[in-house]
Amino acid sequence: MAKKTCLLAFIMSALVAAAALIPGVEARVAKGKAVAKPAETVQGVKPEECYQCHEVIQDLHKGGKHARVNCVNCHSGLAKHLADPGPDTRPETDVSWEACGKCHENQYRTFMKEAYHRPGRDEKSQLTGRAPNPFWDKLMMGHGFTKEHNTTRSHNQMLVDQYVVDRAFGGRFQGKKGWNYLLETGKAWDVLKDMYPESNEQKTFIRQSAAAANPVCLQCKTQDNILKWGYMGDPAKGAEWSRKSNVVEFARSSQYGLNCFYCHDPHAAKPRIVRDGLIDALTRADGDTLWHKDPKHTNFKVIDMGLRGFNRKIAILEKYDTKLQCGQCHVEYTCNPGYDLKNPDTSKYSVTMDDRRTNHFPYKDVLQLYDHYVNKVGFLDFKHGLTGGLLWKAQHPETETYYDSIHSKAGVGCDDCHMPKIREKNGKVFTSHFAVTPRVQLKETCLACHKQWTEEQARYSMDSVKAHIRGKMRKAEFWLSALIDAIVEAKKAGVSAEAVKEAQDQHLKAHILWEFWTAENSDGFHNPDMAKESLMKSAQEAFDGIKLIDDAMAPKAASAAPTATCSTRYARRFGRIKSPASACLRPMRGLKSPSWAGPTRASLLLSINSSGATA
């Protein structure tokens, strides 16, 4: 009797396990919970029939962990397509989170988890933020990010947040339930509504907003249209969408933020990357990225998936590597029109979405970016509203920051701190897909390695590093602001165009070395040594720019006030003095002084020296 009972239990468990592979039975995932539900019966297909045309898929599918998962699990309309193959009968592909969540329930449940440790729509320009005003709006004047630049929320909300941010679609998209959209989870168009459905024009609808979004910037937020987008977004016959597409229509066609198949190949169940800009960077002939210079880099195989008549690529990785997978989005790249540095006319964009430079990944650290964009690519993003000089705009460069850090060299991946392995009550271990700061889960992250620490000590360590780097950011902002004022004053005074241009170039150098860290979302914690070096260099570049302006204006200043012993012009700009004598301060050690400071130094040199004593 016992043997019969055991045999019956074995048979029943085998049937339950096989149910996931039998068409007609699926798991419905709702609100983070998997609920068994009989699905509409769908006749399975013989994968071999699909392989006859899809040879690339055969190589991926047969050799991977999903080999026993039938095509109907992710594709609908297969019977019709098999009976009459062609574009008109092309199957629909399920790009939803739930498509994977049917089987990968724990990963789905944690992915859909909300992060409540900080507010939604928390602007970085607040006084307590990463890039506080009044400097932020002044230093970035002329760019859409001055309209709204927020800290991050959960991955599942990234598309919704991109649609509603004031800089992207000009206020077109709003929550169906007003501000309660912040508490809702689901597809974008279950949560949001288009306030102007009668118009396809990308423009501003509310005051103090911008309409800066385009199809390339949305590639970081969603891959719903991966099968309809050609390599690099190049316009191609058969590709519904491209870099030049109407972004409003593109947005309306997209529902899911950060699809699972960014990082996981659905056929082979192997790690991969799909962002064409990154694949392009890693396969550039000059081989000058961080990956190329890394002797331990993860290898990959680029596969052309262009069966639909246009070029489309993915890259299968030899192993999971978050520096590449997270580096698809947490990375600096250009995703917008801008200015060709060989074109002297800056009255309008000289680089439009026709140009591949509007979908470009440098994949380099901050210290290499000036040379990359100025001398190699010849592209800059925007024109400053006060100086008229061309500047660069950063995009969330966490990967390049982290690449050569102490933690990275020790073998710590992004997932170790942001998506750690979790042990369930039944003892099963899985990778959490709740991507969030380690502060929220210190036991599973920091304390897993730093076992001697308490949670309080872990927070103290993080906060101390971040506070120090924020202090360096504030100093860099001070000097950048001073340089902007100097350039404006020089232009008004009729200083030569050559001198102004040289100072604007110093402004660009200082700007890159500072603004990188306002876009990077760790306050330098991912690589504090690089952050400190970059920000101190930013201050020096700005300082040198001020000196250039002062040297150019010296003859005018001498003729206007020949008896002055130090520069009252700069001192008065900051409201520091009533007479020249009170402006004379000692310099910071290690910081080269501009000529106008002379042996007595002017107030622009900061009010303290390197030892902290008042000068």
Instruction: Output DSSP code: residue 524.
Output: T
Sign of CA dihedral 360, 363, 365, 370: negative
Sign of CA dihedral 604, 607, 611, 615: positive
Lowest mean pLDDT segment, chosen from 47-56, 159-168, 456-465, 516-525: 47-56
What pLDDT was estimated at residue 306?
Answer: 80
Amino acid at 134: P
Instruction: Output DSSP code: residue 376.
Output: I
Rounded to a whole number of angstroms, the distance between the first and last alpha carbons of the chain is 94
Query: Quick check: helix, strand or coil at residue 511?
Result: helix
What pLDDT was estimated at residue 425?
Answer: 86
What pLDDT was estimated at residue 593?
Answer: 43
Instruction: Tally Cβ neighbours within 10 Å of residue 337.
Output: 22
Instruction: Output DSSP code: residue 520.
Output: S
Sign of CA dihedral 152, 153, 158, 161: negative
What pLDDT was estimated at residue 586?
Answer: 34
For tokens 């040198």, what's the residue?
544
Q: Are strands 300-304 and 272-273 parallel, antiparallel or unpaired?
A: unpaired
Compute the distance between CA of residue 205 and CA of residue 290 in angstroms, rounded to an integer.
Answer: 41
String of b and e for 8-45 (b: at least 16 CB within 10 Å)?
Answer: eeeeeeeeeeeeeeebebbbebeebebeeeeeeebeeb
Compute the distance between CA of residue 313 and CA of residue 319 in angstroms, rounded to an integer.
Answer: 18
Among candidate residues 36, 27, 32, the one with its CA nearest the CA of residue 102: 27
What pLDDT was estimated at residue 561?
Answer: 57
Compute the distance between CA of residue 396 and CA of residue 398 in angstroms, rounded to an integer.
Answer: 6
What pLDDT was estimated at residue 608?
Answer: 28
Instruction: Tally Cβ neighbours within 10 Å of residue 472.
Output: 21
Structural domains in the chain, CATH included, are 26-103 (1.10.287.3080), 417-455 (no CATH), 561-615 (no CATH)
The confidence band for 592, taking pLDDT boundaries of 50, 70 and 90, is: very low
Q: Are 182 and 191 in contact (CB under 8 A)?
A: no
With 0-12 CB in 10 A as exposed, 13-18 as middle and 19+ as buried, what is 296? exposed
Q: Are 365 and 530 in contact (CB under 8 A)?
A: yes
571 pLDDT more than 90: no
Q: What is the pLDDT of residues 214-265, one digit of tens each?
A: 999 999 999 999 999 999 999 999 999 999 999 999 999 999 999 999 999 9
Compute the distance between CA of residue 119 and CA of residue 179 in angstroms, rounded to an integer.
Answer: 12
11 pLDDT more than 70: no
Compute the distance between CA of residue 595 and CA of residue 551 in angstroms, rounded to an integer.
Answer: 7
Q: Nearest 5°: CA angle at 385, between 379 and 390?
A: 20
280 pLDDT more than 50: yes
Q: What is the helix, strand, coil percentage profile of the chain, to 5?
A: 45, 10, 45
Average the pLDDT over 483-496 and give the result: 97
Compute the distance between CA of residue 593 and CA of residue 337 in angstroms, rounded to an integer.
Answer: 38
What pLDDT was estimated at residue 531?
Answer: 98
Q: What percent of the chain has pLDDT over 70?
A: 84
564 pLDDT more than 70: no
Compute the distance between CA of residue 536 and CA of residue 367 in angstroms, rounded to an integer.
Answer: 12
Average the pLDDT over 274-296 and give the result: 97
Instruction: Tally Cβ neighbours within 10 Å of residue 46.
Output: 10
For tokens 């140009």, what's the residue?
355
Q: What is the pLDDT of residues 323-352, one digit of tens each?
A: 999 999 999 999 999 999 999 999 999 999
Q: Which residues fall within 8 angstroms of residue 76, CB to CB, at 6 or more apart?
A: 42, 91, 92, 94
The confidence band for 585, taking pLDDT boundaries of 50, 70 and 90, is: very low
Helices (H) and strands (E) in the chain, counts: 21, 15
Using alpha carbons only, how large is the chain's radius of gyration in Å? 28
Peptide bond just before 235 cis, omega within 30 deg: no
Mean pLDDT computed over every residue of the chain: 87
Q: H or E segment at 304?
A: strand 300-304
Average the pLDDT over 363-381 and give the result: 98
Looking at the DSSP bridge assignments, the partners of residue 38 are: 25
Instruction: Output DSSP code: residue 444.
Output: T
14 pLDDT more than 50: no
601 pLDDT more than 60: no
Q: Are strands 379-380 and 300-304 parallel, antiparallel or unpaired?
A: unpaired
In terms of DSSP H, where are the helices of 103-155? 105-111, 135-139
Amino acid at 284: R
Lowest mean pLDDT segment, chosen from 79-88, 270-279, 543-552, 600-609: 600-609
